[in-house]
Chains A and B, each alone.
Chain A
Amino acid sequence: MTSAPPTPPALQPLHANPWLTRTVRIADVIDEAPGVATYRLTLDGDTDPAAYSFIPGQFNMLYLPGVGESAISMSGDPTRSDGWTHTVRVAGNVTKTLAGLKRGDTLGLRGPFGAGWPVEELAGVNLIIVAGGLGMAPIRSLIYHVVHHRNRYGHVWLICGARTPEALLYRREYDLWRQHDIDVHETVDRATADWTGQIGVVTTLIDRLRLPHPKQTQLVACGPEVMMKYAAASGVRLGIAVERTWLSLERNMQCATGLCGHCQLGPEFICKDGPVLRYDHIRPYLFVEQL
């Protein structure tokens, strides 16, 4: 109390005021599936190529004035410098309003927020990537990262599941990913007449994998919570340690910075400590009903 406290280094603007909202413009829209579209969002007049940097697995808060905000993962290439890419499914008021916007329209954006995929810790080992439905969106950013640093990762399996073939996101890119030695497997809950692939849940595909070195393998998953729980359990059965399993969770998020309290699961603020969390840290809470 008798000496002056140290002066802390200045906080980044977003850390000093997490409510700083920037105007972004819809640069293009790609329809992905019924009710699902990918938006590229750009800042007006900002030419700093680093402006759009993020860690795969992080999210932005997209704001439609008068409607509200929604936490949406980045689904694009983290090295791109021409905007943020978000794949959005119409689920509530914000996403419904967004779906009604067109190229050139503006909205608000705060971010990036959250802890993304642990790209450094994942390097050097075999990797099972599990994506269910729209969970493919934050997974795609990770795949871009893996493709850009392909020699840093071992064998990479990508197991994607969706309700129907048309709900499998980014199928047009699968061949490109395969060219980068990513072992893509796909499955659907309900097949259509032209579907010749697997039918069933993603865990049946995980269970079938022949892992040469389970102890040198990590598993990451994003999708419906129940799918991720079973995927993690399948991984454990294959010999993948809980400390090498990572899930991207979803909860009600309003502030995105751990200050509003909504997204808690046990001691974790999903927005700030996650959304990507290590399985052994959340396992005691993930299976408790209504926690």
Chain B
Amino acid sequence: MLTLVPSPLALRFGEGSGERFYYFDKQLHMTASSPTLFFAKPQLQALLNELRGRGYCVVGPTIEQEAIVYSELQSVEELPRGWTDEQAPGQYRLKRRDDDAWFGFVVGPHSWKKYLFPPKATLLSAEKTETGWAFIPRAADSTRYALLGVRACELAAIRIQDQVFLNGPYQDPIYRERREQLFIVAVNCTQAASTCFCTSMNTGPRCERGFDLALTEIDEGFLCEIGSDLGRDVVAACSAAPATPAQLQAAETARQQAVDQMTRHMDISDLPGLLLGNLDHPRWKEVGERCLSCTNCTMVCPTCFCSSVTEVRDLNMETVERERVWDSCFNPDFSNLGGSPVRNDTASRYRQWLTHKLDSWHDQFGTSGCVGCGRCITWCPVGIDLTEEVAAIRETPTP
């Protein structure tokens, strides 16, 4: 590749130093390993209080508009306790569980990216002065988020967005500020939806790294693994005790259930390569006829990072803010060049999305852009399933 500009990436990490996930691991200092702890369910409120007391805005799953979404939590009473989600291509329904599980569901339409890469953010403002335009950088963001209930696929998604926003030659300052202050309480899945395929993407269901604390829910309480010194300090508020062998075994059984329930699969043995090698495949046209180009898949995707900048001006044009908003490669004007889109039909836009997500993402960021969370399958109004599209292209590759 052409490298005329010295790459800060190379400066920072050295060639092949293996320090790819610098930011991800940075905040997770741990001076000594700790045994897995156990605490009773009501103690989760103590954890929440401790985080709030330390100045964190705690966000986690709650029910809004008949879906489990992520929102600010004051109390564990706001968790979707006793609820689960039934998911299938183009379908999402909440259902009462026959038990009182606190985390007995998988992932919904929201992802944590809305806290790290906000859907709308001011980048800078311009003010008219006597000597001309002055540009004022945005004020630093002091919000500290604690994410409660991050699943393994979502930890992987954060790791991927770290790669996009922090580990290239340019960093996104908004993402960096929020990421550096982030506290993560992961929760291991104990069940899988029909749309889940994290085992194919090697991203779950077990939370292995990248958290401050990781919980596994069993009937009598939560097992808690410690991932950072800060996590150890915080969990001290929960009256936790070392887990018993029986509790450890129960947690293992619960986690295995998620693995056993996983039915969807995506073969990634020929990715990257398969899709970029089949850019003229007739399947693109076929899926383009089903796809509504509605952008849902990109909005719910925990790794999609495309954005646009809009001008927000006051009436007399003396103050203008530059606002970044989420965008999608499915929007026709996304690829506008000289007044008309490069990707003029839905087939070309679907092809862009899927080849980027599963194929060229590897070239760009050294990882797939897919974590196997299944959101794009569930929230597609016509139930397009990317695992099916990949399989169809593989079945009859273009010569």
Write the residues of chain A forming the contact surface with B, with a CB cutoff of 8 angstroms: 1-2, 4-6, 8-9, 11-12, 14-23, 25, 44, 55, 63, 65-69, 91-92, 105-108, 114-120, 250-252, 254-255, 257-262, 264, 266-267, 269, 272-273, 276-278, 281, 284-285, 288-291
Question: Which residue on chain A has the smallest CB distance to residue B123?
Answer: A19
Q: What are 25 A-B contacts defined by CB distance under 8 Å?
A: A1-B30, A6-B19, A15-B171, A19-B138, A21-B126, A23-B133, A23-B135, A44-B131, A91-B338, A114-B5, A251-B337, A251-B342, A252-B342, A254-B307, A257-B168, A257-B169, A257-B170, A261-B307, A261-B356, A262-B334, A264-B356, A267-B363, A267-B364, A272-B170, A290-B343
In the bound complex, CA of A14 to CA of B305 (Å): 20
Q: Taking the complex as formed, is B230 at the interface, i.e. its CB lies under 8 A from any CB of chain A?
A: no
Query: Given A19-B322, A68-B311, A290 and B345 touching (CB < 8 A)?
Result: yes
When distances are taken between beta carbons in the complex, the residues of chain B under 8 Å from A65 are 126, 128, 133, 311, 313, 317, 320
When distances are taken between beta carbons in the complex, the residues of chain A under 8 Å from B26 are 5
Q: Taking the complex as formed, is B173 at the interface, i.e. its CB lies under 8 A from any CB of chain A?
A: yes
Query: Which one, B4, B164, B305, B338, contacts A116 given CB within 8 A?
Result: B4
Assess the B339–A17 pair: CB atoms within 8 A.
Answer: no
When distances are taken between beta carbons in the complex, the residues of chain A under 8 Å from B382 are none
In the bound complex, CA of A251 to CA of B338 (Å): 9
Having A21-B126, A23-B133, A290-B344, one finds 10 other A-B pairs with CB under 8 Å, namely A4-B29, A17-B171, A19-B173, A19-B322, A119-B4, A257-B169, A258-B364, A259-B305, A260-B306, A261-B305
Q: Shortest beta-carbon distance, B32 to chain A, in Å?
A: 8
Assess the A290–B342 pair: CB atoms within 8 A.
Answer: yes
In the bound complex, CA of A69 to CA of B279 (Å): 32
The 3 closest A-B pairs by CB, nearest first: A106-B132, A261-B306, A267-B363
Assess the B280–A288 pair: CB atoms within 8 A.
Answer: yes
Question: Which residue on chain A has the smallest CB distance to residue B134?
Answer: A23
Q: Taking the complex as formed, is B165 at the interface, i.e. its CB lies under 8 A from any CB of chain A?
A: yes
Assess the A66–B8 pair: CB atoms within 8 A.
Answer: no
Interface centre among A19, A115, A116, A289 (most CB of B within 10 A): A19
Assess the B22–A8 pair: CB atoms within 8 A.
Answer: yes
When distances are taken between beta carbons in the complex, the residues of chain B under 8 Å from A254 are 307-309
In the bound complex, CA of A80 to CA of B200 (Å): 55
Query: Which one, A6, A22, A259, contacts B135 given CB within 8 A?
Result: A22
Q: Taking the complex as formed, is B246 at the interface, i.e. its CB lies under 8 A from any CB of chain A?
A: no
Q: Taking the complex as formed, is B25 at the interface, i.e. its CB lies under 8 A from any CB of chain A?
A: yes
When distances are taken between beta carbons in the complex, the residues of chain A under 8 Å from B133 are 23, 65, 106-108
Q: Taking the complex as formed, is B296 at the interface, i.e. its CB lies under 8 A from any CB of chain A?
A: no
Query: Given A19-B137, A66-B313, A264-B356, A252 and B173 touching (CB < 8 A)?
Result: no
Q: Taking the complex as formed, is B329 at the interface, i.e. its CB lies under 8 A from any CB of chain A?
A: yes
Assess the B352–A291 pair: CB atoms within 8 A.
Answer: yes
Query: Which one, B25, B128, B165, contacts A1 given CB within 8 A?
Result: B25
In the bound complex, CA of A151 to CA of B22 (Å): 45
In the bound complex, CA of A107 to CA of B126 (Å): 10
In the bound complex, CA of A64 to CA of B291 (Å): 37
Assess the B334–A252 pair: CB atoms within 8 A.
Answer: yes
Assess the A16–B335 pair: CB atoms within 8 A.
Answer: no
Question: Which residue on chain A has the smallest CB distance to residue B172?
Answer: A259
Query: Given A11-B8, A288-B280, A5 and B348 touching (CB < 8 A)?
Result: no
Q: Taking the complex as formed, is B3 at the interface, i.e. its CB lies under 8 A from any CB of chain A?
A: yes
Assess the A92–B170 pair: CB atoms within 8 A.
Answer: no
Q: Taking the complex as formed, is B241 at the interface, i.e. its CB lies under 8 A from any CB of chain A?
A: no
When distances are taken between beta carbons in the complex, the residues of chain A under 8 Å from B11 are 8-9
8 Å CB interface, B282-315 against A? 305-309, 311, 313
Q: Mark B269-282, 1 if CB is under 8 A from A, else 0.
A: 00000001001100
Query: Given A65-B320, A269-B364, A115 and B3 touching (CB < 8 A)?
Result: yes
Query: Given A19-B123, A257-B169, A261-B329, A55 and B164 touching (CB < 8 A)?
Result: no
When distances are taken between beta carbons in the complex, the residues of chain A under 8 Å from B3 are 115
Query: Given A55-B4, A272-B170, A266 and B276 touching (CB < 8 A)?
Result: yes
Q: Shortest beta-carbon distance, B84 to chain A, in Å?
A: 33
Question: Which residue on chain B has the smallest CB distance to residue A4?
Answer: B29
When distances are taken between beta carbons in the complex, the residues of chain B under 8 Å from A255 are 307, 309
In the bound complex, CA of A16 to CA of B25 (Å): 19
Question: Which residue on chain B has the smallest CB distance to residue A22?
Answer: B135
In the bound complex, CA of A160 to CA of B173 (Å): 42
In the bound complex, CA of A230 to CA of B321 (Å): 43
Query: Given A4-B29, A17-B137, A290-B348, A258 and B170 touching (CB < 8 A)?
Result: yes
When distances are taken between beta carbons in the complex, the residues of chain B under 8 Å from A252 are 334-337, 342
In the bound complex, CA of A288 to CA of B173 (Å): 35
Query: Given A19-B173, A288-B279, A290-B345, A66 and B317 touching (CB < 8 A)?
Result: yes
Interface centre among A20, A115, A266 (most CB of B within 10 A): A266
Query: Which one, A21, A262, A289, contacts B306 given CB within 8 A?
Result: A262
Assess the A17–B364 pair: CB atoms within 8 A.
Answer: no
Assess the A291–B8 pair: CB atoms within 8 A.
Answer: no
When distances are taken between beta carbons in the complex, the residues of chain B under 8 Å from A262 are 306, 308, 327, 334-335
Q: Shortest beta-carbon distance, B225 to chain A, in Å?
A: 12
Q: Mark B1-18, 1 if CB is under 8 A from A, else 0.
A: 111110010011100000
Query: Given A1-B30, A257-B170, A25 and B305 touching (CB < 8 A)?
Result: no
Assess the B360–A19 pair: CB atoms within 8 A.
Answer: no
When distances are taken between beta carbons in the complex, the residues of chain A under 8 Å from B359 are 267
Q: Mark B91-112, 1 if CB is under 8 A from A, else 0.
A: 0000000000000000000000
When distances are taken between beta carbons in the complex, the residues of chain B under 8 Å from A2 are 30-33
Q: Mark B164-185, 1 if CB is under 8 A from A, else 0.
A: 1100111111001000000000
When distances are taken between beta carbons in the complex, the residues of chain B under 8 Å from A257 are 168-170
Query: Given A65-B126, A115-B3, A260-B307, A9 and B338 touching (CB < 8 A)?
Result: no
In the bound complex, CA of A11 to CA of B352 (Å): 32
